[in-house]
Structures are given as C-alpha cells and as structure tokens.
Structure 1
C-alpha cells in the first residue's frame, strides 16, 4: 500500500503504513467480535432497520482510503498530484489516524453488546448517555472519520481531505439519520430529550 516516494523518508513511510495497518486490524477485530456468532447471545427480540447502510459505510471507508492514495498516484494528473499540503500535515494526519482508532475502540467497548455494524435495536436495549455519548450521539463514527481524514492529511494531497470529507459526510450522514430514526422509534421521548443536549457528530456544528 503506497510507496516511499510519497514521503520525505523511509521512516515516515513506515509509520504511515503501520498506522493504516493498525486501523485495518482494529476494524477487523471489531467486526469479528460483533459478528452474528458473538451477537447472537443478545437478549430480547431484535429489530433490524439497517436498510443496507452497512454496505454504504463500508464503501465510504474503503473509497476514502482509495481516494487518498489516488490523488498521490501516477494515475492522477502530475501537476495536480504535486500540489501538496505543508509537511506539518503529515504529523497531523498520523495523530488523527491513531487518535481516531483509540476513540472508536473505546466507544465500541463502552457499548459492548449494544454495538452492532447493522442498525438494530432490541426490546431490552438501553440508551447510552454517558462518557463521550453525553455530548456526541455517534462518537464511534467520529473516530472512523478522524482516521480516514488522517490518512488523507498524511499523504498531503490538497484534494484528498476535501474528497474524503465529502464521502464521509454522505455515507455516514445517511447512516446516522437511519440509525437515529430507529432509536427514536425505540426510545421515543427519551431519545428526543437526549438529542436536545447532544450533537450528532461534530460538537457545536452538527
């Protein structure tokens, strides 16, 4: 994945690649432990309201990584490929990748058995409103977006961060609206009250 000429030296190349491998490993482990084999033990009758958005966010995740590399590849117009952000954005990107991984992992662990990749609720499910969830209703998604933006920044293309942000806002935005619709049906007034004191994704913005 990638090649050393995109970076200032081999050390920067290695750090970036291992950070991305860490991200992919983290996602694999989360998916493994939230697969039907493990979630089958949940109590209560499940209500599936996913509407295929699991594939939408998977597409958004994969395409964001692809786009970040494409803008630095030889397949992109050379003059535009050489338009780069200042070198400091490499370090910002690495911090965002690692920070996003830890944010997502911590939030998935907070939800434990309540976390699923599909939009799904159960009869005995409780609305989590502590920790990060007190302020942000979808912080695990925020962690993913942080990491994806981090990849774009670390490769330093001026186009990648904009493209990745657009992809994420479309894919995760649709997912969040469908997910919140299911939660509103499940928790009714409790969820409405929760929404009055929290943000969907970005504090003070949305």
Structure 2
C-alpha cells in the first residue's frame, strides 16, 4: 500500500499557518508600521468585511459539500470520495482559499497592510506543506479521475 494512501498529513497544519500569518502581521505592524492614509478608510473596512464574509460563505459551502459527499473535512484524514461539486468545481482548495481571503480581509478591516503580505506567504507555505501532499494522496486514491479533475480545475482560482 502506498504511504500517501493512508492520510495526506500527519497534522492539520493550514489553520496554524494562517493563524501564525495573522499574528505575524500584527507583530510586523507593531514593530515596522506601514502607513495607511486617512482617506477612504471606510472603503477599506467595508472591503475587508466583504472579503471575510465571502471567505466564510466559501468555507461553509466547501465543508457542507464535503459532508454531503461523505468524506472528511480534516486535512489529516483519509479521503473516501473525490469531491468535484460545489465550490470544488471552481477551485481544488476552496477552504484554503477562504483562509487566504480571511487573512487579507482582516488586514483591510483592521487597516494592517502586513496581512496582505502574510496571506500570500501563508498561501505559498500551505501549497508546499499541505497541498502537495494532499494532491499526492488524492492521486494515489483516485488515479486518473483525480488527474482529469486537476486538468479542468485550478489549484487556487
């Protein structure tokens, strides 16, 4: 049996990665502040709120789709079904995309530009640590069906 078939990750890292990204952004803003102009602050806060709301809707939709397809939500559990419906029609990683949008939205809402930077860094780290292993796991479990899905659906957006 292939080692990736058992489970993709030993530990569910992505929530911790994004939590660390948010914490790092606030530390960076405290020690290396990036200036934010006073004009149109309400636009930035409204845009941040909309990003956060969109991310929550995307995450709930993705989790509901996984539950409806009788497979796991947790990234350190073995997938039982290849899910290609719901938000998975548009992106292979809607939950991680939601985390990224939330991090960026917090930055806009709290007027912390470092959150935008750390959101991109967190997305890159998540791609390396989690997504690559998850994709190997899914490839070993679902083979050509997963390859076909990858060819028709973007990793992020």
Coarse TM-score class (shorter-chain normalised): 0.7 to 0.9
| 2:20 matched residue in structure 1 | 63
Residues in 1 aligned to 2:127 and 2:64: alpha-carbon distance in whole angstroms: 20
Structure 1: gaps (5+ residues): 1-45
Contact 1:127 1:187 in 2 (8 A): yes
Which segments of structure 1 move beyond 3 Å, counting only runs of 4 or more? none
| 2:92 matched residue in structure 1 | 137
Q: How many residues align?
A: 148
Residues in 2 aligned to 1:82 and 1:121: alpha-carbon distance in whole angstroms: 42
Question: Please, what TM-score do these two structures have when normalized by structure 2?
Answer: 0.82
Residues in 1 aligned to 2:84 and 2:34: alpha-carbon distance in whole angstroms: 45
| 1:4 matched residue in structure 2 | none
Structure 2: gaps (5+ residues): none
Q: CA RMSD in A?
A: 2.1
**Bigger relative contact order, structure 1 or 2, given CA contacts below 8 A and separation 6+?**
2
Residues in 1 aligned to 2:72 and 2:8: alpha-carbon distance in whole angstroms: 14
From 118, 122, 140, give the equivalent of 2:75. 118
Aligned pairs for 1:36-185 (under 5 A) are 47-52=6-11, 54=12, 56-73=13-30, 76-77=31-32, 81=33, 83-84=35-36, 87=41, 88-112=43-67, 113-121=70-78, 125-185=80-140
- CA pair 82-155 structure 1, distance change in 2 beyond 3 A: same
- 1:173: Cα distance to partner? 4.2
